[in-house]
A and B are shown apart, each in its own frame.
Chain A
Amino acid sequence: MMLAAIAAATPTPAGVPGAGIFTSPLILSLTIWVPVVVAIVINTFPNPRGRYDTLMKQIAFFTNLGIFFVLFIAYHLFETFLPTLQYEEKLPWLPAFGVTYHLGVDGPGMTMMMLSCLIGMISVLASWGVRERVRSYFTLMLLAQATVNGAIAAHDMFVLLLFWGAATIPVALLILGWGGPRREAAAWRLVGYWGLGTAALLVATMTVYAASGGTSFDMDVLFKSALTPRVQLGAGLALIVAAATRLPLFPFHGWVRDVYSEAPLGVSVVIAGTASRLGGYLLLRGLVAADADASRLLSPLLAALAAVTIVYAAVVALRSVDLRWAAAHLAMVPGAITVFGLAALTPLAIAGSVLSMFTGGLAAALIVAAAWVLTDRAQSRSLSVLSGLAPRMPILTWLLVLGALGLLGVPLLASFPAETMILFGSFKTQPIGAFAVAAGLVLTAIALAVLVHRVLFGQPNPDAPAVSDASLGETWYLGLLVGGLLWVGLFPSGPKLPGTDLPIFDPGLINVMSAGITDIASPYVQPAPTAAQ
C-alpha cells in the first residue's frame, strides 16, 4: 500500500513529450547510431586467429542489451495520452531538397522499436554458435539492426528510404557468408525482391514529392498535400509493392523459402521478427495514416492480397516436404493478417494490426527459429524422416507447439487479442475478405496440426539420425520469444499493483500502442447513427 501511495503521489511527467530523465533529444539516434559505431569498432578491433571472438559476441550482446534497457525506460516514460510524435529529433539535412533528419515515434512506432530491440538481443543470442569470421558477422548484424531501427524511427521519406534500402546489403552479405548450401540463391532472391521494393518505394516517394510541389520529404508535409486521384493511386500501388516485397505478400514472396531455410538462425530471427514487419509499418505510415482516399480505393486489393497470401502459405506448408520450408511459408501468415487489418480501415482493425506487427514478429521469429533449431538438432529437414520426436525433444516440442499456437492466435498469447481485434474490426467493412482470411486461418491451423502431429507426435522413425533436445542457450532465446508473447497476452495493459490501476513497471503495450492510433484511424470512424435512423 505504501508503494501505491508513493506511486500515486508521483506526478506524471508533463510538458515535453517523452519527458522525464529522457528529455535528451538523442534517444532515437542512439538506437540507430550506437550499433553502427560499435560495428565499426568491432570491425577494426584486432582479432588475431579469432582470439577475441567471444568478446565480440559479448560486445554485440551488451550493446543490444544496453539499447533495450534505454529504450525500455523511454517506453516506460512514454506519454500514452499524447497522439503526437515523441522523442522527436529534427535537423535540416539537405535543405535544398527539403530533406530533414527527422526522427520520432508515436504509439505504433514505439511498439515497433520495442520489438526491434527485443529481437536484436535475441538474434545475437541465436548467433552465439557462429564460429567463422565472427568479427564480420557481428559487424553486419549490428548494421542490419541499425537500419531496421532507422526505418522505424524515420519521419522523413528520404531517411526512411535510406534505411529501408541500406538494410538489404548487410542481410544479403550475412546470408552469402554464413548461410546454408543454397545460400547463393537465397541471397540473390532477397536482393532482387527487396531491391524491387526499394525501387518501388523510391518511385512512390518521388511521385508524391513531385506532386506536392517538391519542397519537402518530411512526412508531415508530404502526406498532408492535396494529391490528384491519379497520383494517389500510382503512389499507393508503388507503396503496396514495396511493402509486399518485405512482408512478404503473394506474389512477391519468392525470397521467403530460401532465405528462411538457408540464412543463419540469428539472421532469420531478425528478418522474420522485425525486417519483414517493416512492410506492414510502411503501409500504416505511408498509406493508411497518410492518404485516406487512396486507402479506401486500394483496400479491396490489400484485403485480397492478404487473404490469398494466407491461403497460399497454408496450402504450401501442407504440401511441403521440408520442415524449414513449411515454417518459412507459415511465417508469412502474421504479415498477411496485419495487412488485412489495415485493409479493413476501421479503428479496431487498425489497432489490431499495430498489435499484430508486434505479436506477428515474435510469432514468425519463433516458428522459424524453432523449426531451424529442431532440424539442426534432428540432423534432417525432411518431413519423411522427422517423426515422433516429442519424447526425445520435450523442450523443443513445447516451443514448437507454442510457436504454432502463437501463429494461430489462441487465448493467453498476445496474438489472440491482435487477431480478434482485426477480425472483429473487419467483418463490417471487408466481409468477403474476413471470411477468406478466417478460412485461411483454418487451413493454417490444419497445416500446423498436421505438421506438429507428424514431426512431434507421429510414429518414431527408427532410421532417423540421432536427435538431441535444445541446449540451455537455445531454450533461453526461444523462451524469450515465447515470454514476449505470453507477457503481452497476459498483461496487455501492464501488470498493476494489486487493488489499484497503477502499473508496476510496464505501462502496457496496448496503452503505449494506442497513442497515435486515434489520429491515424480518425478518417475511418463510422459516423454514429442519428436518432432519426
Chain B
Amino acid sequence: MRNFVLVPEALVVAGALVLLAAGRTRGRSRWWFPGAAAGVAVIALVVELWVGATLATFFGGALVQDRFALFAKAAVLLAAALAIAVTDWTDENAPAVGMAMILLAAFGVMVIASAGDFVGLWAGLEVAAAAGVVLVSLRRSDLGLRLLVAGGVASALLLIGLAFIYATTGTADLQAVRHAAATTDATLPFGIPVLLLLGGLAVRAGLPPLQFVRMPVGLGASPLGAGIVIGLVAAAALTVAVKVAALLTLVPAAFSPYLLVAAAVAMVGGGAAALATRSPRARLAYLAAGQVGWVAAGLATHYRSGLGASVFLLGAFAIAATAGPAVMGGADIGEFALAGMGLLRPARAAAIALVFLSLAGAPPLAGFFGEFAVAASLAQGGQMWLLALGGLGALMSLAAAVGTLRAIYLQNPPDDSRRAAGARLPVLTRLSTYGAIALCVVIAGYGVFANPIVSLADQASEALLR
C-alpha cells in the first residue's frame, strides 16, 4: 500500500499536465474535458480514501502521510471535483487551463497537508496561489498582477516568519519544531515571527480587514478563478495555519491572542459585510471570510478539541467556498443575475442556496455543524465573549444568506434585455446538473452524517499533536 500513497498527487499533476497539453491542440472536440478532469479528481479521491490510511513518510520526512493528510487531501479533492463538475465552462476564458489550474491548486493543498517541514508548507501554498494568479490573469491581467503583488507580500511575511522560527528553534522539520517550541518561552523574538507568519496567512486567506486584494480579485475573476481564490487558496492558507497552530499548542501565548482578535474581526466583519453587499459573489466571499474566522477561532483555543473542530470546519469550508462561485456562474454583476434561478435551473439553484446557507452556518448543513463544534470548544476554553461575537456574526451571515435565497426562489427571472446585459444563465449540461445535485448531497450529508467525518477530523488533530 505504501507505494500507492502518492498516487493521488501523481494523478492530479498528470491530469493537469495532460489538460494543459491537450488545451494547446487545435481542432479537437473538447466536450469531454470537464468530465475527464472531474473524473481524475474523483479517482484520486477514491485512491486517497483507499490507501490514505497507510501511515508513511517520504523523501526523508519531507512528506508525511497521516490522518490529517488523509482528511485534508480528501476534502480538497472532493472540492476540486465538485467545482469542475458544476462550472459553466462556456463562461471560462480557457477551459483546459482552468481545469489544469484547479487541479494544480488542489495539488498545492495536498502538498501542504502532507508537508513534514517548512519547505513543503511554503511550496504548497505558493503552488496553490500561483494557480489562482494564472486563472485570474486569463480574464483580467490587472487583477492577476494585483494578486501576484499581494501574494508576494504575503509570501515575504511568511518566509520571514518561518526563517525566524527556524532561527529560534534550529530546525525546519515540523516534529522537531514542535518539540523545540515546547521548551521555548513565548518571548518577543518568538512572538514577532509568529505574528508575521500569521499575517502572511491572513493576507492569503483574505481575512477581514486584509481582504483588500482578494475581494476585488474574487469579483473580477471568472467563476472558477473566484472559486480558487476564495476557496482553495484560502483553504491552503488555513491548512498551513492548522499545522502552525498544532506546532505551537504548547506555547499558546505566542499565537493565541493574535488569532482570537483576527477571528473576532473576521466573524463579525464578514457577517456585516455580507449583509451590506448586494452582489452575490461578494456576499459569498464575505460569508467565506466569516467562516474563515470560525476556523481561526477554533485554532485559537489551542485545545485538541478546537483543533479537531477547525479541521472539520475546514473541510466544509473548502467544499462550499470553492464550488460556490463556480456553481453561481457569472453572478458577479448583481443580485438580479440569480433572480428566478430556482425556476429555471432548480438543481443549480438548490446548490447555490445550500452553499450560502452552509457558509452562513445555517442548520442543518455542513457549516453549522463545523461552527457548532468550534463553539463547543470555545465554550470549553472559556472564550464566551468570542462565542457571543461569533453568534452575532452568524446572525448577520444568516440574514445575508436569506437575502440571496429570496433572489433565487422568490424573484421573477430577469427579462431578455437584462439577460443580454450580462445576467446570462449558466448553460445546462448533464455534468453540471449531476454536479449540482452531488454538491447538495455533500453539503447536507457532511452535516447530517457527520460522525465519521468528525471522527476522522479528531484523528487528524491527534496526528498533528503527536
Contacts and interface: CB of A to CB of B under 8 A. Distances in A.
B399 A44 contact: no
A206 interface: yes
Interface string A71-89: 0000000000000000000
Nearest to A197: B395
Contact of A199 (B392, B399, B410, B454): B392
B78 interface: no
A328 to B, nearest CB: 22
A47 to B, nearest CB: 10
Interface residues of B, number: 37
A209 B382 CA distance: 11
A96 B342 CA distance: 37
A368 B308 CA distance: 48
A95 B376 CA distance: 13
Contacts of B380: 209-210, 214
Nearest to A172: B402
Interface string B160-203: 00000000000000000000000000000000000000000000
Contact of A210 (B342, B382, B410): B382
B406 A177 contact: yes
Interface residues of A, number: 38
Interface string A165-190: 11011001100110000000001100
A189 B455 CA distance: 39
A165 B402 contact: no
Interface in B417-466: 450-451, 454-455, 458
B379 A207 contact: yes
Nearest to B394: A199
A169 B387 contact: no
Contacts of B346: 43-44
B398 interface: yes
B450 A207 contact: no
- Give the one of B363, B369, B395, B406 with max A CB within 10 A: B363
B377 to A, nearest CB: 9
B107 interface: no
B399 A195 contact: yes
Interface string B67-98: 00000000000000000000000000000000
B287 to A, nearest CB: 15
B61 interface: no
A65 to B, nearest CB: 26
B391 interface: yes
A97 B453 CA distance: 13
A215 to B, nearest CB: 10
Nearest to B395: A195
A518 interface: no
Interface in B4-31: none
A176 B408 CA distance: 12
Given A44-B346, A169-B402, A177-B410, A94 B363 contact: no
Contacts of B379: 206-207, 209-210, 214
A202 interface: yes
Nearest to A187: B402
Contact of B375 (A44, A136, A191, A202): A202
A195 B393 CA distance: 11
- Give the one of B308, B368, B372, B455 with max A CB within 10 A: B372
A460 interface: no
B316 interface: no
Contact of A95 (B368, B394, B399, B451): B451
Nearest to A167: B363
B395 A94 contact: no
B394 A133 contact: no
Contact of A166 (B364, B372, B405, B455): B364
A176 B402 contact: yes
Interface in A66-118: 92-97
Given A92-B451, A166-B364, 11 more contacts: A44-B346, A93-B451, A166-B362, A166-B363, A169-B362, A176-B406, A191-B402, A199-B388, A203-B391, A206-B387, A209-B376
12 contacts: A94-B369, A158-B372, A162-B368, A199-B391, A206-B376, A206-B378, A206-B384, A206-B387, A207-B384, A209-B380, A210-B380, A214-B305
